[in-house]
Structure 1
Amino acid sequence: MAHHEDHRRPNEGLLIRGARATGALAVLFALLPSGMAYASGGDGGAHGCSDVDVCVDAGTPGSSGSGGSSGNGGGTGSSSGKGDGMCKLVDDSEIPCAPGYNPADRCFYQLMDPQPPSGPGHTDMNGADTSGPGAFYMKDCIVNDVGGIVWLTTPPATILPDPEELARQARDKMTLLGADIGSAPGPNSPGLVGVPVWLWNTKSDTTWGPNSATAAVPGLSVTATARVTKITYSMGDGGSVTCTTAGTPYKKSYGGKSSPDCGYRYTKVSTDQPGGKFTVTATSTWEITWQASTGAGGTLPAEVRTSTTTARVGELQVVN
């Protein structure tokens, strides 16, 4: 049985939080003329998240957020398609999330649809005159509870996160393991000096790939895909072999043939090793590429995973 080390990266530094501006709506009703009706659309507010302006597993407008092979799914997007969705936080809680983030004040702004009445006699929650050019926005801020419906003469500046940051978030959702090592002779079967040893990795999405996961914010999604490009087997006797395929599982019908793509021959016995066996360490190199919904793409630094097995090697004794 191969032993695995799981080196999944934690979401270090992503202390994600959200703020809901609720009481401000009551203030707005007091400022607007009586009988005024409006609809905010979506869930009635633009709720943001993250100290680094990235929402993990946020749903995209009108659809569901995507999860990786490890089963971490996103929230459901708005059926109205107006840009709301769910941000899945690091503590597995979820809050509504929306586009329209303004980095200047760390607030989200969502254009209201339909627009409340504007013009002479109509003001926003701050008493602003709405008789000139402009529009009503639902405002919600990360850093405090100030929010509600505001009138803006110029649309707020908005940004999307760096797609590579989302790619790293997608990578961190994956389960990437070392090889599930198969060998012939197996770890409990004695081999002989000079006799071919077959090595292979029992392929799965977590031991060979492809392994994919997606991270998204409204307006941008990034899918990262990981694949093993090589496995280096350190055989315990000072020698090693690097295989660029998963290897070929051994069958009895192959007899004493050598593996066509991943094999080794020992030149010394293992009797002086702990337990009388060599420790075989497999080091898998995972290549990670990413593709954004905007068409951008790239690669992330390779990830390395290890696993181990053992090999008992003896010497053929000739009897005179």
Structure 2
Amino acid sequence: MNRTGRTALGAAALTLALGALILTEPAYSAEPKRNDRGTSTEQTGGGDKTGIYAAARIQYSGSVAKNGGTGNVTSTDVNWTPPPCWYAPYMGAKDFKKKMSQDIESQLNAPGMGGHAGAALTELQRHYEDEYGWTDTPGYKDYNVENDGKGMFWAAVENPDEPDPLKRSSCNDLPFWVPNGEAPPPQYEEALTPEILAALAYQHMQLPDTKVTLAPEAATKVNLPTWAWLDKAVFDEVQATAAVDVPGFNLQSTTTAKPVSLKLEPGTEDAETYPSSGECVINADGSIGEPYARGKADETPPCGIKYLRSSGEGTFKLQATITWEITWEGTGGAGGDLPDGTFGNDQAVTVQEIQAVNR
């Protein structure tokens, strides 16, 4: 059967029979968890009396959001997004046979199951029972149980943090076999790689709050330059790691964010920034800006703001946003660049009029 025929039947079969195989949030977590059978996440695939294991879980460590949540980094590249789905190790051959056989048999015996849907399920069953399967790739003889323990079936995993359901479900190939120690076939572009793990680490990375030091600190004055800076001692690069470790499969990537510049937005149009772009670059020692010191009152700060009117009884919301340079390194010496990221905070700034007394 050609790919067109495979797609027509595969769509129905996947919808009906593989719903349980499309793995959502439980397929990964920030903390190791145990399933309801007491099997740890590291025990993925294989065969003991517990039967079916959960899919390979992605473990996050380092500077990441709690409980596997999305971090606070915003990519500067509006066209870049984390992977909406991927393929991951799922089950050993014996466990996969047990699971698929039960699911297919149950659905074939369901009331009203016939026509194209029933035919699709029958062809799906034949794909895993007959080595001359019906797709554009070879099938499997008896679910490949003769190779149990020598590899795993891989299945689709949805990224629960992807808001578009169509993108989440775009990994819709049938589960496929990968021998231990080998890479998935090249046609499965969304199969887990160090680069995909790096992108997921990026998605879960938690950057520190960006609160700049100001001088004057409590309240500044109209037309008085306000110095702003970040010390290297309290503001340095951060790292997040995503890793998968199951029998026959071990990958990890560490994504590193390094601060490169500070953007100041005064919170009012009646203000000037230093420099005029409002972009304060990082210094050679890793700091940003320069601390104010006695005797610098008549100097122009290398990084700062001058407000041109009072904030009245309220405050201005100064937004300080850091741009971070993002790189990654992974298993096997892989590595590269990811789009720069940003994260910022608002700070309340009180601006007072300078009162003069005429005599």
State the TM-score, normalized to the length of structure 2. Answer: 0.47
Residues 202, 167 of structure 1: CA spacing in aligned structure 2 closer, same or farther, 3 A cutoff?
same
CA deviation digits over 1:259-318, x for unaligned, max 9? 65313334x221xx4525433211222221111122222222222222122141424636
Gaps of at least 5 residues in structure 2 are 1-22, 29-33, 38-45, 70-86, 95-141, 156-177, 185-190, 283-287
Question: Retained in 2: the 8 A contact 1:178–1:284?
Answer: no
Structure 2 counterpart of 1:95 = none
**1:115-194 equivalent positions in 2, closer than 5 A:** 137=149, 155=179, 158-159=183-184, 161-186=192-217, 188-193=218-223
2:62 aligned with 1:68: yes
- Alignment of 1:233 with 2:264, yes or no, is yes
Aligned to 1:81: none
Which structure has more helix as a fraction of its residues?
2
Q: In the alignment, which of 217, 220, 228 is matched to residue 199 of structure 1? A: 228
- C-alpha change, 1:42 and 1:225, in structure 2 (3 Å) is farther
Find the counterpart in structure 2 of residue 107 from structure 1.
91
The corresponding residue for 1:49 is 55
Question: Secondary structure of the residue that 2:344 maps to in structure 1?
Answer: strand
Provide the identity percentage.
26
- Alpha-carbon shift at residue 185 of structure 1 (Å): 1.0
The separation in 2 between residues aligned to 1:192 and 1:155, in whole angstroms, is: 70
Equivalent of residue 328 in structure 2, options 270, 290, 298: 290
C-alpha distance in 2, partners of 1:199/1:216?
38
Distance 1:129 1:229, change over 3 A: closer
Distance (whole Å) between structure 2 residues aligned to residue 191 and residue 43 of structure 1: 74
Match in the other structure for 2:281: 244
Q: 1:107 to 1:190 in 2, by over 3 A?
A: closer
Shift of 1:170: 1.6
C-alpha deviation, 1:201, in angstroms: 2.6
What are the within-5 Å matches in structure 2 for residues 261-300 of structure 1? 261-266=302-307, 268-270=308-310, 273=311, 275-300=313-338
Q: Contact 1:180 / 1:202 at 8 angstroms: preserved in 2? A: no
Change (3 A) 1:317 1:276: farther
| Unaligned runs of at least 5 residues, structure 1 | 1-12, 23-39, 58-65, 73-87, 91-102, 111-125, 144-153
Once the two structures are TM-superposed, the CA of residue 196 in structure 1 deviates from its matched residue by 2.6
The answer to whether the 8 Å contact 2:251/2:331 transfers is yes
**1:302 and 1:136, CA in 2 relative to 1: closer, same or farther beyond 3 A?**
closer
The residue that corresponds to 1:319 in the other structure is 358
Structure 1 contact 167–215 (Cα < 8 Å) conserved: yes
Larger radius of gyration: 1
Structure-1 residue corresponding to 2:137 = none
- 1:179/1:202 contact within 8 Å kept: no
Using the TM superposition, give the Cα deviation of residue 226 of structure 1 relative to its aligned residue in structure 2, in angstroms. Answer: 0.7
CA deviation map 1:118-144 (0-9, x unaligned): xxxxxxxx7x998xxxx662677677x
Instruction: Count matched residues.
Output: 214
